[in-house]
Every structure is written in structure tokens, then in C-alpha cells.
């Protein structure tokens, strides 16, 4: 470890090469549960691309594993340490290098916070759509690593659709450029898309060219109460089949509604079994909401409350943003991330409810309903080993249910350590072997985030 730290300090300031055990302990984990973490050898906080290259060259020379990290807000264990590794934090590479309103792009370093970028481009009348719930604290590099989504994915899509090009340091320290700055481009294999969602296993992103959009009109939202998951999901299907394109369509189950009320006294209707929030930001949001309100009533909504102003809309949407913090107050939480076809969303919700009943656990569900991405949140007492085992078993059954319904084990949180075994089930042996060959081409020594995803 002394030799490793000394070699790193040949190029990197001593203050940015940390071996203090207490500091290392603070950087060992991301926010995932049920994921082990090893003992890192050193934490490095580079401030330049050249310093990142030096880290990777040193790691290759000494055959030391490297675990890239952003803000460690991830929920899959992808940023967890492995024994003897270099923890490579990209937080100090945090510059917005360029905002180009003509070409509608931003060029940023990986440590830029999602919310900081959003506020910066808004000053130019532009909009960076991917908006994870942790947008005030998560980094663009972490978003790229996991292929993050967010509340507005139903209309605007996920991170992968906004990354045009990357600067990436490979395992041997070489710097490679992928992609483009142009609106179109199909030269060669799409390495940019390959790197998005690779969770630091193929290279270390040090710069990104991101596509921007014109800032949309302010959203108007409605809330619709339903007596069952089936009636709520029937409304969701009717909205999508009817050709509507909401900017947001979120679903909260009764457990989540009660938790939000308990936390923030928002006065949400606790008699509802499912609360659907729908918003539009187009040319006629009020007209769109009126049409959707009728579809909700036809599907069995017991009450539909449209907002009459942007302020009222924000109040409704705040309830959704508080969902995960509210469920966290109930105990230790394990957040799943299973996406299914929209047409099978009701089956997913009913299945999760049955799993909770079978294991005697509270499981709240919030969902990006517009794209079928569910977040079942298992609540348990981590001090109770028997209850923890039940929570783990219920988590596994939820993932199995998602695959049975034609879905995927992760819609936006990534695989990391948490779902590595489940990735093999989803891909199958041939698909898994192809991915391993790709990994070997980028990282022949296997030093980049080993043990994650594959």
C-alpha cells in the first residue's frame, strides 16, 4: 500500500491521495443495501484528466483494482470498495466547460451535479431532461455510469439518449474520445451508448458532451384517486393508447401515500388504493389534462383533482418527490428497480402486494408509471436478523416477478453488486458471454470495478 500511495503521489498532490482509515471507511459504500464492501487501499481525488490517467497507469502497472466513484448516491453497490482497491473519486472534476445554445449541447466534467447543470442551462433557455430523484446530489458521471432515468422519462427519455460523446480514460491510462458534438452521427460502432450504463467497468468518464432541449412550458398536473391498482393501471394504458404524451406520469400506492402524509402532512387521500399523478408541459396542458381526467374517470377514478396553477402542480409533484424519504422514516429500506411492460403494471403491483403479505413486511411502491418502471421499497428492521432475511427473500421474489412479466431487473439504478446474479438470468449464457468479451476488450486485466455487473 505504501508503494502504491507513493507512486500515486509522484503526479497527484499528497492531499488528494488519502490513506486515513476513517476517511476510507466513509467512502466504502454507496446507498445500496445488502451489498458487501471491501477494504480499500487508498482514496484518490484527482483534479485533472492527466491525474486520472496517472491513477489508471499506476493501477495497471501494479495490477491494482480501481473503483470509480461519483457522489455515491447509487442504489446497486456499483461504487462499493473491493479489497485492496484504489477508490477513484471524480467529485473534483466538476466544471461545466461549455454551454452552446446554437448546437444545444453542454460539455461537462463528471463531478458536476445534475441540478447544477439544470440550473446553468436554464439561464440560456435550455433544458437537460434526465432528472433522477437525487438530482440535487447525484453527479452527471454517476448518471452516465448507471444510465439514470427520472420522473420525466415518459416523455423525454433517459440519460443514454442525451449523451452525444465522451472522453474516457481506459484501464491502461489511454484517453479515448467517443461519439460526436453534432446532432447526427453514425460513424463506427456506438461506443458512447456502450459506455453509458457500464458502471465504471469499461473506462472512466472524464468529460461528456450532452444534448440539450429548449426549456418547456411550465407543467400542469392532476391527481387521480383509484380504488384499486387495476383501475389505476387501466387509466395509464388508456392515456398511452390515446396518443397522449405526458411529461410525467407517476403512481403511488396506499402505503406510500400514508407515509408521505405522516412525514409532511400533505393531506393526500388515505382512502385511495392508488394515486396517479399526471402532468403536461406542451402547448395546451389544460386541454390535455381535461382529456386525461375523463380517461381516469372512465377507468374508475373516485376523484380527479386538476391543478389550476403551476404552484398547485408543484405541490402535487412534491408529494411524489417525498415518497422515498417518507418510506425511509418507517425503517431500513431496500429499494428495488424493476421495469415491466406498461400493460402488465397492474400484475406487478398486485404481485408485490402479495409478496409483502406472504413475508409479513411493509412494501411501498412508487412507479414511473408512464414507462412501467416500479420501485418497490421493502421496509424492515435491520437489527432483526430474521426480518432482514425475509426482506432479502422478498426482494429476490420481486425481481423474479419482474422477469416473469416480461420485464427487466433494473430500469435505471444499474446492476452493481446487488443484481449481478440476476443479470445472468436476464441475459442468458450467450448474452452474458458476449458482454464478458466486451469487458475483456476494454479491460484485459480486469482491474476496472471488478465484481460489478458481470
Q: What is the pLDDT of residues 129-138, one digit of tens each?
A: 998 988 899 9
Q: Is the per-residue pLDDT at 397 higher than 90?
A: yes
pLDDT of 270? 87
Its domain, for residue 120, covers 96-214
Residue 419, in any domain of the structure = no
Over residues 82-107, mean pLDDT = 98
Over residues 105-121, mean pLDDT = 98
State whether 6 and 68 are in the same domain.
yes
Residue 451, in any domain of the structure = no
Grid cell listed for 291: 382529456
Count up the domains in the chain and report the number.
3
Q: What DSSP state is assigned to residue 228?
A: S
The residue written with cell numbers 499506476 in the block is 58
Last residue of a domain, one of 49, 66, 89: 89
pLDDT of 282? 86
345-356 per-position pLDDT tens digit: 999 999 999 999
**CA 57, 62, 63, 65 torsion-angle sign:** negative
pLDDT of 133? 84
Q: Is the per-residue pLDDT at 2 higher than 80?
A: no
Give the three-state DSSP class for 187.
Answer: coil
State whether 75 and 111 are in the same domain.
no
Q: Is the per-residue pLDDT at 82 higher than 80?
A: yes
pTM of the predicted model as reported, rounded to 2 decimal places: 0.95
Name which residue leads in pLDDT, 134 or 435. Answer: 435
Backbone angles phi, psi at 253, to 5 degrees: -85, 175
Who contacts 156 (Cβ-Cβ below 8 Å, separation ≥6)?
A: 129, 130, 213, 247
**Taking a C-beta distance cutoff of 8 angstroms, is the pair 345, 249 a contact?**
no
Short-list 201, 374, 433, CA closest to 423: 433
Axis crossing angle, helix 254-264 with helix 310-321, rounded to the nearest 10? 110
Residues 437, 423: Cα–Cα separation, whole Å = 16
pLDDT of 1? 65
279-302 per-position pLDDT tens digit: 999 889 999 999 999 999 999 999
Confidence of residue 411 (pLDDT cuts 50, 70, 90): very high
Residue 35, in any domain of the structure = yes
Residues 321, 152: Cα–Cα separation, whole Å = 12
State whether 81 and 24 are in the same domain.
yes
pLDDT of 113? 98
Give the three-state DSSP class for 408.
Answer: strand
pLDDT of 135? 87
**CA 237, 238, 239, 243 torsion-angle sign:** positive
Share of the chain above pLDDT 90, in %: 92
State whether 380 and 283 are in the same domain.
yes
Last residue of a domain, one of 214, 240, 264: 214
Residue 269, in any domain of the structure = yes
Q: Is the per-residue pLDDT at 310 higher than 90?
A: no
Give the three-state DSSP class for 5.
Answer: helix
State whether 251 and 386 are in the same domain.
yes
Domain CATH number, residue 84: 3.30.43.10
Over residues 386-401, mean pLDDT = 97
How many C-alpha atoms does 276 have within 13 Å on its Cβ side?
33
State whether 136 and 6 are in the same domain.
no
Residue 449, in any domain of the structure = no
Amino acid at each position: 500500500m505504501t508503494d502504491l500511495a507513493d507512486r500515486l503521489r509522484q503526479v497527484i498532490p499528497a492531499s488528494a491521495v488519502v490513506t486515513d482509515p476513517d476517511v476510507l471507511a466513509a467512502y466504502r459504500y454507496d446507498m445500496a443495501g445488502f451489498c458487501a464492501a471491501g477494504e480499500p487501499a487508498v482514496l484518490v481525488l484527482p483534479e485533472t484528466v492527466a491525474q486520472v490517467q496517472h491513477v489508471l497507469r499506476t493501477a495497471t502497472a501494479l495490477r491494482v483494482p480501481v473503483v470509480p466513484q461519483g457522489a455515491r448516491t447509487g442504489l446497486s453497490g456499483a461504487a462499493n470498495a473491493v479489497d485492496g482497491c484504489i477508490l477513484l473519486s471524480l467529485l473534483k472534476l466538476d466544471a461545466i466547460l461549455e454551454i452552446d445554445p446554437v448546437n444545444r449541447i453542454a460539455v461537462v466534467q463528471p463531478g458536476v451535479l445534475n441540478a447544477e447543470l439544470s440550473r446553468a442551462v436554464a439561464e440560456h433557455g435550455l433544458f437537460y431532461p434526465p432528472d433522477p430523484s437525487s438530482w440535487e446530489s447525484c453527479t452527471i458521471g454517476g448518471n452516465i455510469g448507471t444510465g439514470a432515468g427520472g420522473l420525466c422519462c415518459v416523455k423525454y427519455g433517459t440519460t443514454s439518449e442525451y449523451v452525444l460523446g465522451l472522453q474516457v480514460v481506459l484501464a491502461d491510462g489511454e484517453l479515448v474520445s467517443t461519439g460526436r458534438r453534432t446532432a447526427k452521427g453514425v460513424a463506427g460502432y456506438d461506443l458512447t451508448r456502450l459506455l453509458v450504463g457500464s458502471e465504471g467497468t469499461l473506462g472512466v468518464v472524464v468529460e461528456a458532451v450532452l444534448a440539450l432541449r429548449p426549456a418547456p412550458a411550465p407543467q400542469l398536473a392532476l391527481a387521480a384517486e383509484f380504488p384499486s391498482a387495476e383501475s389505476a393501471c387501466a387509466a395509464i394504458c388508456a392515456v398511452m393508447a390515446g396518443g397522449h404524451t405526458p411529461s410525467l406520469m407517476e403512481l403511488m400506492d396506499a402505503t406510500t401515500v400514508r407515509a408521505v402524509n405522516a412525514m409532511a402532512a400533505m393531506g393526500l387521500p388515505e382512502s385511495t388504493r392508488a394515486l396517479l399523478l399526471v402532468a403536461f408541459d406542451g402547448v395546451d396542458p389544460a386541454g390535455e389534462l381535461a382529456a386525461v381526467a375523463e380517461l381516469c374517470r372512465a377507468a374508475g377514478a373516485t376523484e380527479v383533482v386538476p391543478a389550476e396553477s403551476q404552484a398547485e402542480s408543484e405541490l402535487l409533484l412534491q408529494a411524489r418527490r417525498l415518497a422515498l424519504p417518507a418510506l425511509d422514516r418507517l425503517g431500513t429500506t431496500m429499494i428495488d428497480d424493476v421495469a415491466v411492460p406498461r400493460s402488465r403494471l397492474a400484475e406487478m403491483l398486485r404481485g408485490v402486494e402479495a409478496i409483502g403479505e406472504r413475508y409479513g413486511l411493509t412494501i411501498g411502491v412508487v412507479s414511473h408509471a408512464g414507462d412501467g418502471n416500479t420501485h418497490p421499497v421493502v421496509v424492515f428492521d435491520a437489527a432483526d436478523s430474521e426480518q432482514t432475511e425475509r426482506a432479502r427473500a422478498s426482494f429476490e421474489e420481486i425481481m423474479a416477478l419482474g422477469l416473469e412479466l416480461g420485464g427487466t431487473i433494473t430500469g435505471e439504478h444499474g446492476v452493481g453488486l446487488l443484481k449481478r446474479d440476476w443479470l445472468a438470468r436476464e441475459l442468458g449464457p450467450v448474452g452474458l458471454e458476449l458482454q464478458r468479451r466486451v469487458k475483456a476488450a476494454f479491460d484485459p486485466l480486469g482491474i476496472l470495478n471488478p465484481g460489478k455487473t458481470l
